Structure 1
Amino acid sequence: MTSELKVEEIQPALTESKTSLFRERMKQFWESFSKNKAAVLGGAIVLIYILVAFFAPLLASYDPYEIDLTNKLQPPSMEHWMGTDDKGRDILARILYGSRLSMGVGFAAVTFGAFFGIIMGLVAGYYGGWLDTIISRILDVMLAFPGILLALAIISALGPSLINVMIAVGVFSIPLFARVVRGSMLETKKLEYIDAIRSLGANDATIIFKHILPNILSPIIIQGTLRLATAILSAAGLSFLGLGAQPPSPEWGTMLSNGRDFLFSAPYMAIFPGLAISILVLGFNLFGDGLRDALDPRLKS
């Protein structure tokens, strides 16, 4: 009863303090982030791509799947701004719709990897002992394989498809998130306020998810943003090899693979999907670097 009364008495003060601290941190974050012109540019690129993916049906003037052999391999023109492919399909429309697939795969893969990686990192870092040893050895085994090689092995076992690409890219993202979370947990759980919360009778789940996890979100967000660029690039690479999205899907990696057969006769078939991938990856990298510098000044180069 005494512990419950103490918690009730200090809860309003704690809530007000947390709200004020959150506002102050957000203000500091925005001031730091807005000064980084490269990060702002990266954020603008990412935002534009998200809007394009969301409004693709309104922006596209043609059906990305409609075959028109009478207009195949048309160079860029006022009618078809990026030309047409070997099936007569409008390349711009396919790139617009392909943004949904490429970004969807990236976000799904990173979410998959982050979920399992965060859980493993929290458990290993908080409890330590034999649990930490087992989880760390599993992570070491996963990190022993190059990411793309591990993804190839998974897809070879599951079969080529866009869903399996998400799983494969997500699996080799798990150890990266787990390592980041474990290290942050080992540092945070030793702080005095955690001992104070434990002395008030809070259980492990409350301490981990309510008091520790919110305070180690910064490195997780940074890792997730930077990982999105790698995930999108890896997914496009797997699709380029024929292991991801299958034709006639307008996924950028698949379009790039199809365009390599026409590099001399119709180079725009490969140039525009390649540019779409490159600019998006650049945007996420710039944005992630800016977030890293703004959220954790200790990591500034």
Structure 2
Amino acid sequence: MTAISAPLRRPGHWIRMPVTLRRILHHRAGRFCFVFLTLLVLVAIFAPMVAPQDPYAQDLVSAMQGPSSKHWLGTDYLGRDVLSRLVYATRIAVNAPIVAVGLAVVLGLPSGLYAGYRRGRVADLMGRVADALLSIPPIVAAIAIVAAVGSGLTTTMLAIGLVFAPRLFRIVRGATLNVAEEGYVDAAESIGSSTARVVWVHCLPNVLAPLLVQISLMMGFALLAEASLSFLGLGVQLPQASWGSMLKTAAESQFQAPFAVLPTGLCLTVTILVLNTFGDVIRDVTADRKEA
């Protein structure tokens, strides 16, 4: 029993997670992304303390003004402070991807693990359904769901999560298929380990690397999708602040205030780039661990 049980815990053991996090923080780009995302979350949490003014207060006399000592990033068409609205919109930028990707993980991870480990006709049917859903462009599917159910932040994020779930399913299923062929899985089955134990102890830890990379990338896609739907008027509704809705109002008045597009556009672009870069760092770190 000792000769068999020793190698069973070695592959993909959960103890590797803190080590992987330390390697990410030792990476220069990973450290920058981690600090940036941490600051973004802190700004979202303490938005009332960070915002210099009330983001919903209107001052029509000061509408469409450029940067000044009172309004560091200028004002919008209703005279609202752009910086304050950017700070409050950070809450949407943090919450929306978490809800959307969280739903995708809840739907795609268990089904992908089941289909990859158990196989069979049910797993094949799940794969065909996922392939059919992946043939639909994500943003088009999200617009169709929002149009059928109704607009709003919660509906938008649920729609995006449903669109992302098949992609996550395929990634998890493919990684689980490879893990299920390993010798330590056969050894675990031979000593009578239950399906739940094999999946939890051996399959899930070994699919975490591609899963975390995909989650980081999906966070950026979800943020972009939320901004796109809010830009079209299907996401966050006024007067609530969102980077997408702010871009829409700035684009509508670009000739009166050309500067208004830059702050929101830079925030959205930099955040998506950081999320994508963080995914690349996770991929590089986990690849280095496998080679080591």
Return the offset for 1:162: 0.7
1:239 matched to 2:230? The reply is yes
Q: In the alignment, which residue of structure 2 is the partner of 1:168?
A: 159
Q: In the alignment, which residue of structure 2 is the partner of 1:252?
A: 243
TM normalised by structure 2 equals: 0.91
Return the offset for 1:205: 1.5
Which of 135, 139, 148 lines up with 1:148 in the alignment? 139
Q: In the alignment, which residue of structure 1 is the partner of 2:39?
A: 48
Q: Answer whether contact 1:42 1:286 (CA < 8 A) is retained.
A: yes
C-alpha separation between the residues in 1 aligned to 2:68 and 2:208? 47
C-alpha separation between the residues in 2 aligned to 1:280 and 1:111? 19
Q: Answer whether contact 2:25 2:34 (CA < 8 A) is retained.
A: no
The 1:285/1:201 distance shift into structure 2, 3 A limit, reads same
> Aligned Cα RMSD in Å?
2.7
Q: Answer whether contact 1:292 1:299 (CA < 8 A) is retained.
A: no
The 1:28/1:125 distance shift into structure 2, 3 A limit, reads closer
Q: In the alignment, which residue of structure 1 is the partner of 2:67?
A: 76
Amino acid at match of 1:246: Q
1:37 matched to 2:44? The reply is no
Amino acid at match of 1:198: E
Q: In the alignment, which residue of structure 2 is the partner of 1:101?
A: 92
Which of 199, 216, 237 lines up with 1:225 in the alignment? 216
Q: In the alignment, which residue of structure 1 is the partner of 2:253?
A: 262
The 1:295/1:240 distance shift into structure 2, 3 A limit, reads same
Return the offset for 1:43: 2.7
User: Pairwise mapping of residues 209-224 of structure 1 onto structure 2 (< 5 A)?
Assistant: 209-224=200-215
1:274 matched to 2:265? The reply is yes
1:122 matched to 2:113? The reply is yes
Q: Answer whether contact 1:29 1:295 (CA < 8 A) is retained.
A: no
Return the offset for 1:132: 1.7
Which of 59, 66, 73 lines up with 2:50 in the alignment? 59
**Tell me, what secondary structure is at the counterpart of 1:296?**
helix
Amino acid at match of 2:113: L
Q: In the alignment, which residue of structure 2 is the partner of 1:112?
A: 103
TM normalised by structure 1 equals: 0.88
Identity across the alignment (%): 35
**Tell me, what secondary structure is at the counterpart of 1:79?**
coil
C-alpha separation between the residues in 2 aligned to 1:292 and 1:139? 24
The 1:134/1:279 distance shift into structure 2, 3 A limit, reads same
1:137 matched to 2:128? The reply is yes
1:133-169 C-alpha deviation (Å, 9 max, x unpaired): 1001110111111111111111111111111110111
1:159 matched to 2:150? The reply is yes
C-alpha separation between the residues in 2 aligned to 1:260 and 1:104? 24
Return the offset for 1:290: 0.7
C-alpha separation between the residues in 2 aligned to 1:298 and 1:140? 32
Structure 1 residue runs of 5 or longer lacking an equivalent are: 1-5
**Tell me, what secondary structure is at the counterpart of 1:67?**
coil
1:190-234 C-alpha deviation (Å, 9 max, x unpaired): 222222222222211221123321222111111101111111011
Q: In the alignment, which residue of structure 2 is the partner of 1:294?
A: 285
1:255-291 C-alpha deviation (Å, 9 max, x unpaired): 1111111101112332211111011001111111111
Amino acid at match of 1:30: R
C-alpha separation between the residues in 2 aligned to 1:38 and 1:267? 32
Per mean C-alpha deviation after superposition, the further-off stretch among 176-185 and 71-80 is 71-80
1:83-137 C-alpha deviation (Å, 9 max, x unpaired): 1111111110110010001221111101111111111211111111101210011
1:190 matched to 2:181? The reply is yes
Return the offset for 1:62: 0.9
1:229-255 C-alpha deviation (Å, 9 max, x unpaired): 111011100110111111111011011
Amino acid at match of 1:238: L
C-alpha separation between the residues in 1 aligned to 2:252 and 2:216? 33
